[in-house]
Structure 1
């Protein structure tokens, strides 16, 4: 059963407590999360981040990822995307170099190659094959809540889904939008 909101550990606590792995499966073609709105608007207006100017794009999130990877935790992110990709996915793709610079491994899988994969209904993070954090969104892409699940059947579904997507996915440096 999901834990109540008062009992949920924060994402930072979950990532900081991970010992071996943290994997993230993203399946939406657009998101409307508050912390990306200004960056997305700037990108649509033509602003692009310069990978050489690290000080202009390095954030506390990237510090957390970098420190976690330095502790020996593998962080992998897989994205299932429709093709041709949406404007939002082009934006996301253009900034993925930041995730990679922090130590994440990222792969992309065209949605048409995922038709035979049993996928959970929501994006998720899976920590050390012990806890799934589902991300719930509105139809417009705003976050509504997070749900933590420790049921073994759900963990197995998420593990199998992620590993299948990962195996089929194209590494970020080889994927083209």
Structure 2
């Protein structure tokens, strides 16, 4: 393993989202992420308030996604989601994906029945930059971030590329998914 980041606020970790030249891909597999900057908004969402773009996500949208897209870069992700959707996933759709897709991020959804999982896709989260820099995202079962690790092993990088291709081919564009699903 290469460099390890213990915080999502790490300057060097965030520099990865500036330095990539062509593509940044994210595979998400958790049904809940315990992110401190979302906790207040998530509580409001659970209380029945419509979740809109909020300060914690605005920096990501304006400072990362929109800038990358404006510079001709592609940001895309696939999120494997269990059906029926968890409250957190419904919150993430409304407070994040609705806005990041408007900013140019390509979000795709791979729905599965609760208790089932796509055979070819492991339960692991990662970022893949320019198809050559793999960063494994490590979380507790509760969704609390533990660390991000840069992987130097070429075989693991190739596997992450293959998983990306499988996930993209097996998934549905976000807007198409929400149009067919009662979110």
Give the alignment's TM-score, normalised by structure 1.
0.87
Structure 1 spans left out of the alignment, 5+ residues: none
Deviations 1:109-153 (A, max 9, x none): 01358523143x520110001111111111111101111113211
- SS of 1:157's equivalent? helix
The aligned residue for residue 89 of structure 1 is 89
Q: Is the 8 A contact 1:21 1:73 kept in 2?
A: yes
The aligned residue for residue 148 of structure 1 is 150
Name the Cα RMSD after superposition: 2.3
The alignment status of 1:61 with 2:60, answered yes or no, reads: yes
Distance across 2 between alignment mates of 1:55 and 1:94: 11
Q: Is the 8 A contact 1:130 1:150 kept in 2?
A: no
Alignment of 1:15-164 (within 5 A): 15-49=17-51, 59-63=58-62, 64-95=64-95, 96-111=97-112, 115-119=118-122, 121-164=123-166
Structure 2 spans left out of the alignment, 5+ residues: none
Aligned length: 172
The aligned residue for residue 2 of structure 1 is 2
Give the superposition deviation at 1:4: 4.4
The aligned residue for residue 169 of structure 2 is 167
Distance across 1 between alignment mates of 2:83 and 2:31: 10
Deviations 1:45-70 (A, max 9, x none): 122145xxx79887121112100111
Q: Is the 8 A contact 1:118 1:157 kept in 2?
A: no
- SS of 1:46's equivalent? coil
Give the alignment's TM-score, normalised by structure 2.
0.84
